[in-house]
C-alpha cells in the first residue's frame, strides 16, 4: 500500500504528459474538472498525499537508515518520522538477535581424523548505519565468516580436545568471529558447537577402547580388594596368635555356627591344647 502511495506523484505527472500528447481537448476537460474543485479541497488532497507518502513508522525492534540524495544522514526510529518524498530513501535494519545455523563442515583435525562439525551463531546488529554502509549483506558475510572460522579453529586441535573442551572452543570461536564482524556493527553474542559426527570405524575403535579401559579398572579394583582382604586377614592372624583366649572364643563361635545350621552334621569338638600340640609337632618337623 505504501509503495503505491509513493508512486502517486509519478502517476499524476505521467497522466498530465499523456493528456498533453492526446491534444488540447483532453487538457480542457482536465482543466474543467480541476476548476470544479475549490482550492482548499485541492490543497487538502495534496497534503493527504504528501503525508501518506512521507510518514513512516518503525517498530521498536527495527531502525531505519536514511539516505538523502544518496548520502546517509543517520538512523531513525523507533516510532513515527517523516521522509521527504523522492529525496529520501530508507533501509530497515532488524536489531533482534539472529540465530544463524552454520552448515555442516567437513574438517580434518590436527591428528588427521576426519569429522563433520556444525554450529550455531547468535548475533545482533548494534550499529545499523555501519551494517548497511560497510558491508553489502551482513547476514551472508557473517555466515561466511562463521564457516571459515569453524573450519580453521576445529582443524587446529586434536580430536580429544574437540570432544572434551567444547566450552573452550566456543569462546574462541566467538572471540574470532566477533573481532572480524565488529567493523560491520555486528555483535556476536554466542557460538555453540551443536554436533560432531565421527566415522563409523572411529566410533567402533573408541567403543573398544572404552571397553578395555573398563575391564582394566575392574581388574585393578578386584586386585585392590584382594590385597586389602589379605592384609586384614594377616592382621587378624597376628592378633589371634598373640591372644590365645581370642582364638578360643573364635573356635567356640565357629562351633555354634555349625550347630545352628540345619542338617545331619556330626561335630566332634577337640580341645585347643591338642591343636597347639599338633602345631608344635609340625613346627619341629
Domain containing 167 — which CATH number? Answer: 3.30.479.30
| Overall number of domains in the chain | 3
pTM comes to 0.63
163 in Cβ contact with 98 (< 8 Å) = no
pLDDT of residue 279: 57
Domain boundary among 170, 198, 226: 198
Same structural domain, 106 and 192: yes
R_g of the chain, CA atoms, integer Å: 45
Domain boundary among 64, 93, 122: 93
Same structural domain, 11 and 80: yes
d(CA 165, CA 122): 20
pLDDT of residue 23: 52
d(CA 101, CA 121): 6
Same structural domain, 57 and 121: no
Domain boundary among 171, 198, 225: 198
pLDDT of residue 208: 79
Same structural domain, 105 and 193: yes
For the sheet containing 98-108, what is the strand order?
98-108, 114-125, 186-197
pLDDT of residue 9: 54
Same structural domain, 188 and 220: no
Same structural domain, 183 and 217: no
Mean pLDDT, 10 residues at a time, over the chain (285 residues)? 52 55 53 58 72 85 93 91 88 94 91 91 95 94 95 91 91 95 95 88 74 85 88 78 68 70 66 59 52
Same structural domain, 246 and 272: yes
Same structural domain, 79 and 110: no
Residue 188's domain comprises 98-198
Cell numbers placing 27: 487538457
Amino acid at each position: 500500500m505504501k509503495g503505491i502511495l509513493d508512486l502517486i506523484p509519478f502517476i499524476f505527472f505521467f497522466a498530465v504528459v499523456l493528456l498533453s500528447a492526446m491534444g488540447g481537448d483532453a487538457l480542457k476537460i482536465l482543466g474543467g474538472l480541476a476548476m470544479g474543485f475549490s482550492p482548499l479541497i485541492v490543497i487538502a488532497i495534496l497534503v493527504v498525499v504528501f503525508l501518506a507518502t512521507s510518514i513512516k513508522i518503525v517498530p521498536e525492534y527495527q531502525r531505519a537508515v536514511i539516505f538523502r540524495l544518496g548520502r546517509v544522514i543517520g538512523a531513525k526510529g523507533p516510532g513515527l518520522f517523516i521522509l521527504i518524498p523522492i529525496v529520501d530513501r530508507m533501509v530497515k535494519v532488524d536489531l533482534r538477535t539472529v540465530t544463524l545455523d552454520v552448515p555442516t563442515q567437513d574438517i580434518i583435525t590436527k591428528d588427521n581424523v576426519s569429522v563433520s562439525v556444525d554450529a550455531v551463531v547468535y548475533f545482533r546488529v548494534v550499529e545499523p548505519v555501519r551494517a548497511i554502509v560497510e558491508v553489502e549483506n551482513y547476514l551472508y558475510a557473517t555466515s561466511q565468516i562463521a564457516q571459515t572460522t569453524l573450519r580453521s579453529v576445529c582443524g587446529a586441535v586434536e580430536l580429544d580436545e574437540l570432544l572434551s573442551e567444547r566450552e573452550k572452543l566456543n569462546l574462541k570461536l566467538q572471540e574470532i568471529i566477533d573481532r572480524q564482524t565488529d567493523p560491520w556493527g555486528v555483535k556476536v553474542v554466542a557460538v555453540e558447537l551443536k554436533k560432531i559426527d565421527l566415522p563409523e570405524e572411529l566410533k567402533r575403535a573408541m567403543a573398544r577402547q572404552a571397553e578395555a579401559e573398563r575391564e582394566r579398572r575392574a581388574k585393578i579394583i578386584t586386585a585392590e580388594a584382594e590385597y586389602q582382604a589379605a592384609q586384614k586377614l594377616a592382621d587378624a592372624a597376628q592378633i589371634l596368635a598373640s591372644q590365645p583366649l581370642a582364638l578360643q572364643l573364635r573356635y567356640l563361635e565357629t562351633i555354634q555356627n555349625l550347630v545352628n545350621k540345619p542338617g545331619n552334621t556330626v561335630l566332634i569338638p577337640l580341645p585347643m591344647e591338642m591343636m597347639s600340640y599338633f602345631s608344635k609337632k609340625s613346627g619341629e618337623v
